[in-house]
Amino acid sequence: MAAFPDVEKIVYEGPESKNPLAFRWYREDEVVEGKTMKDHFRFSVVYWHTFRGTGADPFGPGTMYRPWEDGTDSVENAKNRVRAAFEFMEKLGSPYYAFHDRDVAPEGASLAETNKNLDEVVAVMKEEQQRTGIKLLWGTANLFSNPRYMHGASTSCNADAFAFAAAQVKKCLEVTKELGGVNYVFWGGREGYQNLLNTDMKRELDHMARFMHLAVDYAKEIGFTGQFLIEPKPKEPTKHQYDSDAAACINYLRAYDLLDHFKLNIETNHATLAGHTMMHELDYAGHQGALGSIDANTGDLMLGWDTDQFPTNYYLTAEVMLILLKYGGLAPGGVNFDAKVRRESFEPIDLFHAHVGGMDTFARGLKIAAEIRAEGELDAFVKQRYGSWDAGIGAEIESGSADFEALEAYMLQKGDIEPNVSGRQEMLENLFNRYM
Ligand code: XUL
Ligand code: CO
């Protein structure tokens, strides 16, 4: 039985369309800057919010109406859910998806039983991937929900928690490989701390690095060639998350000799919780050669937590796409909608509205960004703003030929600096608006 019997395949109808279940901007084979939209975005649907989100919040239980669910935590129900998920993704036209091990199959009474449950459901996922051609963007292990991880997983004070997490990631790497996943993500759910009075931070950080190295070694051993990604987030659930932002992650990876094996999966709402814009985080990762993938969503100006809303703001997606175009795109990463419908949007059809809107918002953002780049005014402005470095003393500093003595001699002779150019922020913000 179909899970979404009333929905046909979503098609492109163009900007004039008033059909809420049609794309107005996303046309997968439209070429922008030499690449199809499909290849620019590599859109991905997340299993956890879209197929496991119940709408529960701290004040009340779930609200979602999901007729394909039988209300049990059985393997059978999990298999039916896989079929519903692939029907959804096929009708949406999403080429990729992402999951945590525990999203797709129920935990059993022992690790052995849990692994067996996972294998059974993964067999159906593989079948559905083959039937539809939909691919796995990334797998990840849920190392944060089970109470065994209350103190963390690889950073737990309990060595057994580290061992259990290792077993879980080992299995999840095998499954991700089995499904042809092109990335593997670590989001350090409970890898952080609430209070230093009970925490040996250095020891925890050393343990986390050991864990990452073990994962890299095991991937090599089994021939998993997907890209490893770390997903920065500054707080929630712990007060001090170790992977707080792009710069902190890159410093950590470099310090522990992991930078050759990892890139970053940057999430919009995590960037803003860290007090950064998404653009900042992307550019930081980009210029460090660590831009891997994005979790696309948005926060809420009025709320200071990870609201995981679908992106609907062209300004935001135009900024994101400017940076992605600047660094040559994301592949093998993608644009993964780590976003959930609001608790009040309880009907299955709302899942379509949310994703169609997100994809269209990105497509429009791409077109705006490509136009800005084609006109070249922004780039030209930045280039001339730094013009003092292109010749004379600036060029000598950059090339390393001017030392402190030479710079002192230069300044003694010149006397003082002259202001060279205005920042023109307001003019540039107006310029950006011209393309909206
Ligand atoms: C949590 C979050 C996770 C990761 C995967 O805020 O974003 O869902 O994306 O574990
Ligand atoms: Co995420």
CB 174 within 8 A of CB 220: no
Identify whether 119 is a catalytic site residue.
no
Pairing of strands 31-32, 135-140: unpaired
Q: List pocket residues of ligand 1, CB cut-off 6 Å.
A: 48, 100, 140, 185, 187, 231, 233, 267, 295, 306, 338
CB 63 within 8 A of CB 55: yes
Rounded Cα gap, residues 55 and 62, in angstroms: 4
Listed as own residue / partner, the contacts of 200-205 with beta carbons closer than 8 Å and 24 or more positions apart are 200/157, 204/152, 204/155, 204/242, 205/155, 205/242, 205/252, 205/256
Rounded Cα gap, residues 327 and 329, in angstroms: 6
Catalytic residue among 100, 207, 276, 355: 100
The 8-class DSSP code of residue 60 comes to B
Indicate which residue's Cα is closest to atom 5 of ligand 1.
187
Q: How far is the CA of 48 from the centre of ligand 1 (A)?
A: 9
Q: How far is the CA of 422 from the centre of ligand 2 (A)?
A: 39
For residue range 223-244, what is the model confidence (pLDDT) as tens digits? 999 999 999 999 999 999 999 9
Indicate which residue's Cα is closest to atom 8 of ligand 1.
338
Per-residue pLDDT at 1: 81
Q: Which residue has the tokens 């199959």?
A: 105
What is the CB neighbour count within 10 angstroms for residue 2?
11
Catalytic residue among 40, 49, 101, 103: 103
Contacts of 236 (CB under 8 A, 6+ apart): 273, 305, 306
The type of residue at 380 is A
Q: Is 240 exposed, middle or buried (0-12, 13-18, 19+ CB in 10 A)?
A: middle
Give Cα separations from 158 to 188, 212, 215, 260 (angstroms).
16, 17, 19, 29
User: Nearest-5° angle of CA 174, CA 180, CA 186?
Assistant: 60
CB 211 within 8 A of CB 166: yes
CB 165 within 8 A of CB 213: no
Beta bridge partners, 23, equal 12
Q: Which residue has the tokens 């900024």?
A: 319
Rounded Cα gap, residues 215 and 253, in angstroms: 14
Residue-level pLDDT, tens digit, the chain, 436 residues? 899 999 999 999 999 999 999 999 999 999 999 999 999 999 999 999 999 999 999 999 999 999 999 999 999 999 999 999 999 999 999 999 999 999 999 999 999 999 999 999 999 999 999 999 999 999 999 999 999 999 999 999 999 999 999 999 999 999 999 999 999 999 999 999 999 999 999 999 999 999 999 999 999 999 999 999 999 999 999 999 999 999 999 999 999 999 999 999 999 999 999 999 999 999 999 999 999 999 999 999 899 899 999 999 999 999 999 999 999 999 999 999 999 999 999 999 999 999 999 999 999 999 999 999 999 999 999 999 999 999 999 999 999 999 999 999 999 999 999 887 899 999 999 999 999 9
Residue closest to 177 by CA, chosen among 165, 188, 169: 169
Give Cα separations from 278 to 37, 55, 245 (angstroms).
21, 26, 11
Counting from 1 in the atom list of ligand 1, the atom nearest the Cα of 265 is 9
Concatenating the DSSP letter of every residue in 281-308 gives HHHHHHHTT-EEEEE--B-BTTB-S---
The type of residue at 351 is L
Counting from 1 in the atom list of ligand 1, the atom nearest the Cα of 236 is 6
Identify whether 390 is a catalytic site residue.
no
CB 294 within 8 A of CB 266: yes
Rounded Cα gap, residues 278 and 186, in angstroms: 19
Rounded Cα gap, residues 407 and 428, in angstroms: 33
Residue closest to 334 by CA, chosen among 32, 24, 38: 38
Rounded Cα gap, residues 265 and 277, in angstroms: 15
Rounded Cα gap, residues 63 and 261, in angstroms: 41
